[in-house]
Amino acid sequence: MTMNLLEVNNVHAGYVKDLNILQGINFRIAPGELVAVIGPNGAGKSTLAKAIFGLLTPEQGKIIFKDKNITGLKSDKIVKRGMCYVPQITNVFASLSVEENLEMGAFIRTGSLKLLKEKIYTMFPQLGSRRRQKAGTLSGGERQMLAMGKALMLEPDLLLLDEPSAALSPILVNSVLEQVKAINQTGTAIVLVEQNAKKALAMADRGYVLENGRDRFEGKGTDLLNDPKVGELYLGAAYKPG
């Protein structure tokens, strides 16, 4: 049996004391896996990502990363253990250049960043051609790629992506999600919180469907995509599997 990279066990968490959005979430991801988290608005998807990354302290339950209990640990300590998080908004420094953003992403590293930056530019060619351009002048899709590239400067074992395709055009959605898959294929485990449920499940090894702060369904991405109950409730009434 594969040892889990991350385990979330019976976690209750929220933004106001005693008003928990997460109501006993259970979640796991193995090394190198791509796991999608989907569900309706208000289900707790982004809250789960924030709780995992230490932006919220659970009132109950445990979060285990690399066999260590990180429940309540602050984000800066979690980063040093090999996890990075890309929030949905304000995820780049708009007044800095693309290259400066990447350098900021490697803030805990010492030594030369040249090879790492070139690796990111190879992965995201659009960024390489705009390395001197201010991040605030990039398109929405390019900003998402820069945000992911910035996180990858630390070569994390686990990358949390919170709604990377939000507010993007359909063409850019496909481009960003293709990059997510490419990152995963390099060996980085990814938790993909995503509003585009069909595309997320189609590309994921496994998926979780959240509802009212609970994990209602869990399984292989394609199995959830073809489950009539999941389709009716979360993929649109007219959705037909296959």
> Domain residues for 68?
6-234
Evaluate whether residue 242 is within a structural domain.
Answer: no
Evaluate whether residue 102 is within a structural domain.
Answer: yes
Evaluate whether residue 180 is within a structural domain.
Answer: yes
Evaluate whether residue 100 is within a structural domain.
Answer: yes
Q: How far apart (Å, rounded) are the C-alpha atoms in residues 220 and 87?
A: 25
Q: Quote the pLDDT of residue 241.
A: 52
Evaluate whether residue 177 is within a structural domain.
Answer: yes
Evaluate whether residue 85 is within a structural domain.
Answer: yes
Evaluate whether residue 211 is within a structural domain.
Answer: yes
Q: List per-block mean pLDDT (blocks of 10 residues) for the chain, which spans 242 residues.
A: 86 91 96 96 94 96 97 95 92 95 89 91 93 94 93 96 89 90 96 93 96 94 92 65 50
Is 0.95 topped by the overall pTM? no
How many domains are there within the chain? 1
Q: Helix (H, G, I), strand (E, B), or coil: what is residue 122?
A: helix
Evaluate whether residue 38 is within a structural domain.
Answer: yes
Contact 8, 61 (CB under 8 A): yes
CATH number, residue 148:
3.40.50.300
Contact 209, 38 (CB under 8 A): yes
